[in-house]
Amino acid sequence: MTAQFIIETLIRSLAAVIIGGVIGSERARHGRAAGMRTHILVCLGACMTSMTSVYVENAVGISGDVFRIPAQVISGIGFLGAGMIILKNNNVITGLTTAAGVWTTATIGVALGYGYYVGAAIVAVLFLATIVFLTRFERYKKSTEILYIEIDDPRCLNSVIKELEKALPDMVSYQVFAPKSGCNNFVGLNVVLDSHIDDDIDSLLDIEHIVFAVAE
């Protein structure tokens, strides 16, 4: 095992951590179930399968299909993604984008494991561009907008709603449910607006007891 081989392994692994972290941070910023840690682990694990396949054939001398193990990983990630897809009571399916993102992150990890840095970088950039810009585009196409908000004290729910009605004149309705963050003392709130919010959503964090706010 040469120094060059060790350096190359380190570069590919670090690249997987960085790209997976960047994608995961974007998902975590929107309060998705799969955040930075999940995407890093998926990308790093997929990268490892590719590197292992190449190592076994080149260093150990065992011949075979170097694409077999990574192919199984890509299939297996589908089961992980399936766990992120949720059917809500109103028959609305959520989590499809997150599941697709995890699968794409795995393919990027496989590419990095084979040393295909250019392809991995291009797909990562296009992935982020799709998530960021198309999400904004879809928001403006919709006649209504939904904001997801988390409150750190359920006892103050009524007072927070009153403040939201003042800050959001186009507020139509709201729905209370368990927080996506999983914090026991928090409460989740879906706020439906009759139009798109013009102000910065982060300004809602100035309202006391609101700790998280994002457009769905």
Domains and CATH numbers, the chain: 3-140 (no CATH), 142-215 (3.30.70)
Give the DSSP letter of residue 180.
T
Mutual angle of helices 3-29 and 96-113, in 10-degree steps: 170
**Model confidence at 123: pLDDT above 70:** yes
Q: Which structure tokens are listed for 140?
A: 């403006």
Letter for the amino acid at 74?
Answer: I
Average pLDDT of the chain to the nearest whole number: 80
Question: What percent of the chain is modeled with pLDDT above 70?
Answer: 81
pLDDT (mean) for 107-122: 90
Alpha-carbon span 211 to 122, nearest angstrom = 35
φ, ψ for residue 191, nearest 5 deg: -110, 125
| Of 31 and 126, more confident | 126
Which is it for the CA torsion 151, 153, 156, 157, positive or negative?
positive
**Model confidence at 136: pLDDT above 70:** no
pLDDT at 17: 92
Q: Which structure tokens are listed for 153?
A: 């004290």
pLDDT at 180: 84
pLDDT at 14: 92
pLDDT at 171: 80
Q: What would the pLDDT profile of 74-109 be if each residue is shown by its tens digit? A: 778 777 777 766 655 455 566 777 788 888 888 999
Q: Which residues of 42-55 are buried (b: 16+ CB within 10 A; e: fewer)?
A: bbbbbbbbbbebeb
Q: Which structure tokens are listed for 111?
A: 């590419």
